[in-house]
Structure 1
Amino acid sequence: MTMAVSPPFLPPAFAKNENSRGFLQWINAPERRGPLLVAPALALLFLINIMPLLWSFGLSFFNYRANRLSAPKFKGLENYTDLLNDDRVWERFVTTGIIVSSSVALQLIIGFGLAMLFARKFPLRRLALMLVLTPMMLSFVSVAIFFKLFYDPTLGALSWVVSLVTDESFALLSTPTGAILGIVIADAWMWSPFVMLLVLAGLVSVPGYLYEAAEIDRASPWKRFRTITFPYVKSLLLLALLFRTIETFKTFDLVFLITEGGPGSSTETIAIYAYRLGFQFFRTSEASALAYLILFVVIVLTSIYLYVVKRRNAPEEV
């Protein structure tokens, strides 16, 4: 006959130490070390990015002004419908589209030309490359102030050069076309080196034996470019097109500091209009809704890019 043996009695303090030791062993297990290391970063990301994002998205469905103490009133999709039916919003989208298309096209042309130039070795190539990459490393504020002074009709270098020919001062930013041109030049000057780096990465990856075979076959320079060079850089050009289109679409600092959206509202991009709605007119809910409309446009542009890349890389059916 066997008798049940009761567990030994443990003092409360000793039992508490045993429980804490067991918890430490559980939490320090190898399978939990990875999540524990990532947990602080995820918590910080949630507090800094996710929480404001969710709050602003919920705010876009209410009638709320930051300068009033009244409680927000639910409006549903009314803020979105009002913005979509507002002609001023569509005018800003058109202005943004003109600036984006002009600037990105100029960046692709200049960047591709610079990449073709620096793909070859020549004296002082490294020094010239460092100088060309300098604009990309500057801040938006410094570039904007530099070009604002450069375009100044009284003391600007551009006005001084034009006055040598016409004996009159020249104000490029005084007309809508000139103001858009000034913004496009400043943005292209700053970000063409970025396009150049992407294209240059594709050019240096082209095998040399392909060019040697083309020379043996006596292929023309245009045919060598079309059949050898361009296929290697086409995907990188599309990537540069995506990055620069998205960034230029959201541009704010450069335009605001150079023209402040003027003359009139001819250079007021959609990002500047969202800023004015939220921080000058205190129409906080409408500004939040407009920000999500901008986000929707960016997602559409990204989806179009991915669709084009997928169609280009898909195998052809026989």
Structure 2
Amino acid sequence: MSTIRSAKTAPALLELSADNWRLAVLVGLVVSALAVVTLPASGSFWVVGAMSALVAAAFAVNAYRRRYYGGLLVAPAIAVLFVMNIFPLLWSLGLSFFAYQSNLQSIRFVGLNNYIKVLTDEVAAPGNWSALINTAMFAVCTVSAQMIVGFLLAMLFAKQFPLRKYLLILVLTPMMLSVVASGVFFTYYYDPTFGILSYVINSVAGGQFIVMDSKAGAVAGIVFADAWMWSPFVMLLVLAGLVSVPKYLYEAAAIDRVSAWRRFWSITFPYIRGLLMLALLFRTIEAFKLADLVIVLTKGGNDTMTISYHLIRIANEQNKTSEGAAISYIILFIVIVLTNLYLYVANPKNREA
């Protein structure tokens, strides 16, 4: 039976036709692999691009002849997604297996050496691990602060009170600002000469107060600035869950004289649990990309270097493109593991098991 099936499919695979997408994929993969191995980077780039266009054209012709018009309608969006996201992702993954620097013209295949170097090299590894530890510290501190402040703000704005609408707009304002603008604002806020915080503390305690003078102060300053910006995001998600709780459940709980804690745990929390996990997931992912605030506020001084800022310095300032690509995929692996862990915890079936 398998022999008959292979005999039927083999001619279809090798048939020269404009809609034979299987043959186009096979040719594209083989030619792209040969081009990457044998040609220089400038030449292999265009060969891989041409093969991608060939495969896309074969899929389009196949969809047109078989009247898959739905696929044709979404094809432009898929093409944009491939060009803007998928192709750079695959290209950077390929670069991580080569010895390549953006300021040099030579490139050679080195396999896993870049990954081994960034994890074990006596010169590079200490900086990588220190930046990764700092990133984990910032992730725990900033996400915890954002979850607590955002949850408390959501509980506050879930109730009706005078000027609620205007205060809500005011609280949401930090999230609308750019990160650089917020960083510059906090640079002036923490300034030891004319900053508001330093002025208040100097008036009370006397003497000059410099927030960023130590690692603890620098970390606290970055955490406060990041929490100030993104706590409203957590508030919005939690608030969406709070306003969706049916009012009759609270009325029934009031009739039964249920305590406030029991009412929250049995009625409110089940409606916001999924949104809390979603906010926790989003903010944790963003915490691993923390670099702009660090650049503006400390420039990595006082041992506040994060892995994203470290990656920027390696790839852009030191022109170590392949090592930077390897670090970026290590970060991606960590984020994927954390995401799957969050999803496992958030799934009620896993908790019951």
Corresponding residue number in structure 2 for 1:58? 94
**Post-superposition offset of 1:284:** 1.1
The Cα shift of 1:313 comes to: 4.0
Aligned-residue Cα RMSD (Å) equals 1.9
Q: Following TM superposition, by how much is the alpha carbon of 1:226 offset from its aligned partner in structure 2, in angstroms?
A: 1.6
From 195, 200, 203, the counterpart of 1:161: 200
One-letter code of the match for 1:292? Y
Q: Distance in 1 between matches of 2:290 and 2:226?
A: 9
Q: Which has the higher contact order (CA 8 A, sep 6+)?
A: 1
Alignment of 1:71-82 (within 5 A): 71-82=106-117
Q: Counterparts of 2:189 and 2:291 in 1: how far apart (Å)?
A: 19
1:257-280 Cα distance to aligned partner (Å, 9 max, x none): 1111112xx110000010111111
- Structure 2 unaligned segments of length 5 or more: list them: 1-61
Q: 2:224 aligns with which of 178, 185, 194?
A: 185
**Residue type matched to 2:88 in 1?**
P
Provide the identity percentage. 54
Which residue of 303, 309, 313 corresponds with 1:272? 309
Instruction: Give matches, 1:186-201, under 5 Å.
Output: 186-201=225-240
* Match of residue 30 from structure 2: none
How far apart are residue 40 of structure 1 and its match?
A: 2.6
Corresponding letter in the other structure for 1:272: Y
1:163 Cα deviation after fit: 1.1
Deviation of 1:43 (Å): 2.2
Amino acid of the residue matched to residue 197 of structure 1?
L
Structure with larger Rg: 1
Shift of 1:29: 8.1
Q: TM-score with structure 1 length normalisation? A: 0.86
* 2:79 equivalent in structure 1: 43
Residue aligned with 1:153, SS = coil
Alpha carbons of 1:257 and 1:315: their partners in 2 closer, same or farther (altered >3 Å)?
closer
What amino acid sits opposite 2:131 in the alignment? R
Deviation of 1:144 (Å): 0.8
Is residue 2:336 matched to residue 1:296? no
Change (3 A) 1:132 1:315: closer
Give how far 1:218 is off.
1.6
Higher share in helix? 2
| Structure 2 residue aligned with 1:171 | 210
CA distance in 1, matches of 2:85, 2:148: 36
Asked whether the 8 Å contact 2:63–2:71 carries over to 1, the reply is no
Change (3 A) 1:292 1:315: closer
In 2, the alpha carbon distance for the partners of 1:176 and 1:158 equals: 18
Counterpart of 2:342 (choices 281, 302, 305) is 305
For residue 216 of structure 1, report the CA deviation from its aligned partner.
1.7
- Residue in 1 aligned with 2:139? 100
CA distance in 1, matches of 2:250, 2:224: 35
Q: Which runs of 5+ in 1 are unaligned?
A: 1-25
